[in-house]
Amino acid sequence: MSATISFQGIGASPGIAIGRALVLDSRRVRLPKLKLQPHEIDLEVLRFKTAVALSNTQLEDLKVKLASQDGEGQEHALILEAHRMMLHDPLFMVEVARLIKEDTINAEWAVRRVCRRLRHQFDNIDDEYFRERRSDIEFVADRVVRNLLGEVVDEELEVPPDAIIVAHDISPADAAMLVRNGKVGAFVTDLGSHTSHTAIVARARETPAVVGLGKASESIRPGDMVAVDGRRGLVLVNPSEQQLSLFRETMRRQLVSEEEALKTAELPAVTTDGLRVRLNGNIEFPEEIPSLLAHGAEGIGLYRTEFLFLNRTNAPTEEEHYESYKQVLQAMGNRPVTIRTLDLGGDKVPGKKPEKEINPAMGLRAIRYCLKHRDMFRVQLRALLRASVHGNLRVMFPLVSSISELREARSELEACRSELTRQGVPVGKRFPVGIMVETPSAAWIADRLAQEADFFSIGTNDLIQYSLAIDRQNRDVAYLYRPLHLAIIRSLQAIIDAAKHAGISVAMCGEMAGDPHLSLVLLALGLEEFSMTSGQIPLVKNVIRSVSKAEAVGLLTQAMQFSSAEEIERFVSAEMDKRFATAGD
């Protein structure tokens, strides 16, 4: 029996898996580097163009195959379409041809050099999510080089059930093929972060994944027994019998609690004294919808559309926006779908090297960014108006901090509506237009905002950041991030009261909404609409179904006698433990 090796990486998708390793050969192709004679140049450019054309056809074929599948296949198809567009991007096409001609080098070498240059541009981006997109450039370049070398690409793989897929990195094309061909046990990759493709695909499939493991793929051999803990980011190769039984026990417990949780999917979220609460889901990608529905989501409370910028250096077209919104609205049928306009800005600026802002969280982001870049905003608004014919749409603007911003955003929406009508483009009926309340200024003027917004959705992630002056990205001040700080409780109370007084609906879509330990506090504050990631829905529902509103109000009244966040937290958590030994564990 071989010795156990353990690797610590980034837990990108939770869950336990045990299985045999299927190691993908994802070494970079070896590259011939040749200097050309002048008479060979034209032929080399032609060779390059042929390889691009072939790559294009392969991506088209794959896309067609996947698009005929369910929503998830369609999502992969969108990623492949983005790759196809990268192929034709002048930054790639024109540059490679120029290098072949001017530096008289062979096409493979020129492709690699352009790829390296593009990668560097991505390396300088601060935002992890956009930086991670550099691997997409590699995947596209690899495909072209393999075609230049006449290698086999898109080979269909037989995946034994529960195989642990081990790779240096997994391209979206490979990921799509793998999940199509069988039930993958887990993904384990050397590269990647929380926002890399493997992570995204894995979370949507509820498949455990550990990424960013360094050189694990070089040490794991095909057929090795591998145990993966996707929450802790732990990978054990050839674990001992004792370790295996611990993993099996954790896996068994997780399965039981997931099954228990799913049993409530069909049941309404109603307190014991009859208060009906609405539980919606948060998504970043349409592919998350099946999981959301399986966990009992009654609608979508937050669709973070900035994720449409995945895999690309340029902004999506109106058609691309429209297709995504249509897909989500149709998949949700009559259920309400709340689409948030782009929360881009600061360092998340597609296609350009971002201008450094000293304090990006307080800089030109979200609605401020959209109001400054009207052309980009209008593309999204037009797409939303067009898509509204396909379902039950609600649109909300992020980070509104003044009434003027809401008015301006609304009038831009109306201008787009009139423009489309003039152009004879079908537009759905008027839909509710709301705002995210996530700045202290919005909380203070909630009564006035409620006169002009159709609904509120409270973004506690940012509301806490700005109210308590704590950078949500900064680990050093993370200990100060306290949802039960009296300032937050009072803000929430003011926002909810203002909405109710004005007769508009108020939801919460920040992380606080999905924390079952806080459900009673939120119920007591009068919150009746929660939105969260799919896995949290059954946990929150379980709490709501076993308490009365009166009991929740009693708990909050007692908690409010304390002054410090620590005391309030300690009190609430002790009370919750008394009632629910396992809330959220």
Which residues, in sequence order, are bridge partners of residue 226?
A: 19, 237
Return the SS3 of 105. strand
Candidates 40-48, 166-174, 379-387, 460-468; binding stretch for ligand PEP (CB under 6 A) = 460-468
Per-residue x/- track, 396-435, ligand PEP (CB under 6 A): ----------------------------------------
For residue 138, state whether it binds Mg ion (rule: CB under 5 A): no
Nearest distance from C-beta of residue 407 to Mg ion, angstroms: 21
> Cα(85)–Cα(56) distance, rounded to whole angstroms?
9
One-letter amino acid identity for 130?
Answer: F
* 434 makes contact with Mg ion (CB under 5 A): no
Residues 215/195, Cβ–Cβ less than 8 Å? no
Please report whether residue 438 would count as binding ligand PEP according to CB under 6 A. Answer: yes
- Taking the C-alpha atoms of residue 106 and residue 75, their distance in angstroms, rounded to an integer, is 35
x/- mask, ligand PEP, residues 329-348, rule CB under 6 A, reads --------------x-----
Task: Supply the minimum distance, in Å, between the C-beta of residue 555 and ligand PEP.
Answer: 24
509 catalytically annotated: yes
Catalytic, 115? Answer no
Please choose, from the candidates 266, 332, 327, 328, the residue with its C-alpha nearest in 3D space to the C-alpha of residue 299.
Answer: 332
Q: For strand 209-211 and strand 10-13, is the pairing parallel, antiparallel, or unpaired? A: antiparallel
Closest among 309, 360, 288, 356 to 130, alpha carbons compared:
309
Distance CA 20, CA 12 (A): 20
Identify the CA nearest to 455 among candidates 394, 403, 512: 394
459 lies in the binding site for ligand PEP (CB under 6 A): yes
Catalytic site residue from 83, 197, 295, 485 = 197
Q: Are 530 and 278 within 8 A, CB to CB?
A: yes
Q: Is 350 in the site for Mg ion (CB under 5 A)?
A: no
- Stretch near ligand PEP under the rule CB under 6 A, chosen from 31-39, 290-298, 344-352, 457-465: 457-465
Give the number of residues in contact with ligand PEP, rule: CB under 6 A.
10
138 touches, from ligand PEP, Mg ion, none (C-beta below 5 to 8 Å by class): none
Residue 229 binds which of ligand PEP, Mg ion, none (CB < 5-8 A, kind-dependent) = none
Contact of residue 510 among Mg ion, ligand PEP, none (CB under 5-8 Å per partner type): ligand PEP
Which residues partner with 506 through β-bridges? 456
Of 55, 135, 238, 460, the one binding ligand PEP (CB under 6 A) is 460
- Choice between 229 and 529, CB closer to ligand PEP: 529
207: left (phi over 0), alpha (psi -120 to 50) or beta: beta
Closer residue to Mg ion in complex, CB, 119/472: 472
The footprint of ligand PEP on residues 510-539 (CB under 6 A) is: 510
Q: How many angstroms separate the CA atoms of 59 and 57, rounded?
A: 5
Q: What is the smallest separation between the CB atom of 507 and ligand PEP, expressed in angstroms? A: 10
Q: What is the DSSP letter of 150?
A: T
Q: Taking the complex as a whole, how short is the minimal distance between the CB of residue 129 and ligand PEP, in angstroms?
A: 11
| 390: number of Cβ within 10 Å | 18
> Of the listed pieces 125-133, 187-195, 312-320, 456-464, which binds ligand PEP according to CB under 6 A?
456-464
User: Minimum CB separation from Mg ion for residue 459, in Å?
Assistant: 4
End-to-end CA distance of the chain: 35
- Helix, strand, coil abundance in the chain, percent, nearest 5: 55, 15, 35
Q: Is 459 in the site for Mg ion (CB under 5 A)?
A: yes
DSSP state of 265: T
Shortest CB 398 distance to Mg ion, Å: 6
Using rule CB under 6 A, residue 509 touches ligand PEP: yes
Tell me which of 206, 462, 515, 551 binds ligand PEP, using CB under 6 A: 462
User: CB of residue 462 vs ligand PEP: minimum separation in angstroms?
Assistant: 3
With 0-12 / 13-18 / 19 or more C-beta atoms within 10 angstroms meaning exposed / middle / buried, residue 33 is exposed
- Reference 105, options 38, 172, 19, 27; nearest CA is 38
Q: How far apart are CB 343 and ligand PEP at their closest, in Å?
A: 5
State the catalytic residue, choosing from 115, 370, 416, 509. Answer: 509
- Residue 460 site contact among Mg ion, ligand PEP, none (CB < 5 to 8 Å, cut-off depends on kind): ligand PEP
**Radius of gyration of the chain from its Cα atoms, rounded to whole angstroms:** 25
Identity at 377, one-letter amino acid code: F
Q: What is the tally of helices (H) and strands (E) in the chain?
A: 23, 16
Instruction: List the one residue from 320, 462, 511, 569 that touches Mg ion (CB under 5 A).
Output: 462
Q: Which residues bind Mg ion (CB under 5 A)?
A: 438, 459, 462
Contacts with ligand PEP, residue ranges (CB under 6 A): 302, 304, 343, 438, 459-462, 509-510
Residues annotated as catalytic (active site), given as ranges: 197, 509
